[in-house]
Structure 1
Amino acid sequence: MTAENTSVVVTGALGGAGQWTVERLLADGYDVVGLDQRLPADGGPDGADFFQVDLTDQGETTELVTAFDPDAVVHLAAIPDPTNHAGGRVFSNNILSTYNVLDAAGRAGARVVWASSESAYGFPFAHNLLVPDYLPIDESHPLRPEDPYGVSKVAGEAVAAMTARRYGVPVLSVRPSWVQYPGAYQTTSNREAFDLDELAASPAGSSPSGGAGNFWSYIDVRDLASMFSEALTADVTGHEAYLCHAPENYLGVETSELFDALYDDAPPCPIEGDASAFTTEKAERDLGWTAEHTWREAADADVAGPDFG
Structure 2
Amino acid sequence: MRIIVTGGAGRLGRSVAAELVTAGHDVVSVDRSDPGLPGVEGVVADLLDHVATHERFAALQPDAVVHLAAIAVPFSAPEHVILSVNQSLAFTVLTAGIAAGAGKVLAASSPTVIGYGAPHGWAPEALPLTETHPVAPWNAYALSKVAIESTVAMLARAHGDAVVTGAFRPCFVVSPEEWEGAPTQQGHTIVDRLADPALAAVSLYNYVDARDAGRFVAAWIEHAAAPHSGGVYFVGADDALALEPLSRLLPAMVPSTAGFAETLVDRSAAFSSAKATADLGWRPRHDWRSALSRAEWARLDGLLAADGRPRHHAPTDAQTPSPTHTPTTTPT
User: Normalised by the shorter chain, which TM-score bucket?
Assistant: 0.7 to 0.9
Q: Decide whether aligned partners of structure 1 residues 83 and 265 sit closer, same or farther in structure 2, where only a CA change above 3 A counts.
A: closer
2:256 and 2:93 mapped to 1: Cα distance? Answer: 43
1:266 and 1:291 mapped to 2: Cα distance? Answer: 28
Aligned AA for 2:66?
Answer: V
Return the offset for 1:34. Answer: 1.1
1:130 matched to 2:122: yes
Matching of residues 148-163 of structure 1 within 5 Å? 148-163=140-155
**Contact residue 58 and residue 100 of structure 1 kept, 8 A:** yes
**Contact residue 164 and residue 224 of structure 2 kept, 8 A:** no
1:110 matched to 2:99: no
Q: Which residue of 2 aligns with 1:120?
A: 113
1:26 matched to 2:21: yes
Q: Which residue of 1 aligns with 2:195?
A: 192
Q: Which residue of 2 aligns with 1:223?
A: 212
TM-score between the two structures when normalised by the length of structure 2? 0.80
Q: Which residue of 2 aligns with 1:3?
A: none
* More helix by percentage: 2
Return the offset for 1:46. Answer: 4.1
TM-score between the two structures when normalised by the length of structure 1? 0.85
3-state DSSP of counterpart to 1:33: strand
Return the offset for 1:113. Answer: 1.6
**Contact residue 107 and residue 148 of structure 2 kept, 8 A:** no
Q: Which residue of 2 aligns with 1:281?
A: 274
Matching of residues 195-274 of structure 1 within 5 Å? 209-237=198-226, 238-261=229-252, 262-263=254-255, 266-269=258-261, 270-274=263-267
1:176 and 1:109 mapped to 2: Cα distance? Answer: 23
3-state DSSP of counterpart to 1:139: coil
Aligned AA for 1:166?
Answer: A
**Contact residue 218 and residue 249 of structure 1 kept, 8 A:** yes
2:256 and 2:151 mapped to 1: Cα distance? Answer: 37
1:271 and 1:265 mapped to 2: Cα distance? Answer: 11
Return the offset for 1:187. Answer: 2.7
3-state DSSP of counterpart to 1:242: strand
Tell me which stretches of 4 or more aligned residues in structure 1 moved more than 4 Å: none
Q: Decide whether aligned partners of structure 1 residues 68 and 190 sit closer, same or farther in structure 2, where only a CA change above 3 A counts.
A: same
Q: Which residue of 1 aligns with 2:307?
A: none
Comparing 181-190 with 82-91, greater Cα deviation is found at 181-190
Q: Decide whether aligned partners of structure 1 residues 265 and 277 sit closer, same or farther in structure 2, where only a CA change above 3 A counts.
A: closer
| Structure 1: runs of 5 or more not aligned | 1-5, 195-208, 303-309
3-state DSSP of counterpart to 1:246: coil
Return the offset for 1:167. Answer: 2.2
**Contact residue 182 and residue 299 of structure 1 kept, 8 A:** no
Return the offset for 1:234. Answer: 1.2
Return the offset for 1:120. Answer: 1.2
1:217 and 1:47 mapped to 2: Cα distance? Answer: 31
1:156 and 1:24 mapped to 2: Cα distance? Answer: 24
1:296 matched to 2:289: yes
1:147 matched to 2:145: no
- Say which structure, 1 or 2, has more relative contact order (CA 8 Å, 6+ apart): 1
Aligned AA for 2:246?
Answer: T
Return the offset for 1:290. Answer: 0.5
Q: Which residue of 1 aligns with 2:175?
A: 181
Q: Which residue of 2 aligns with 1:54?
A: 46
3-state DSSP of counterpart to 1:214: coil
CA-based RMSD: 1.8
Aligned AA for 1:105?
Answer: G
**Contact residue 83 and residue 143 of structure 2 kept, 8 A:** yes
1:75 matched to 2:60: no
2:27 and 2:7 mapped to 1: Cα distance? Answer: 13
1:66 matched to 2:70: no
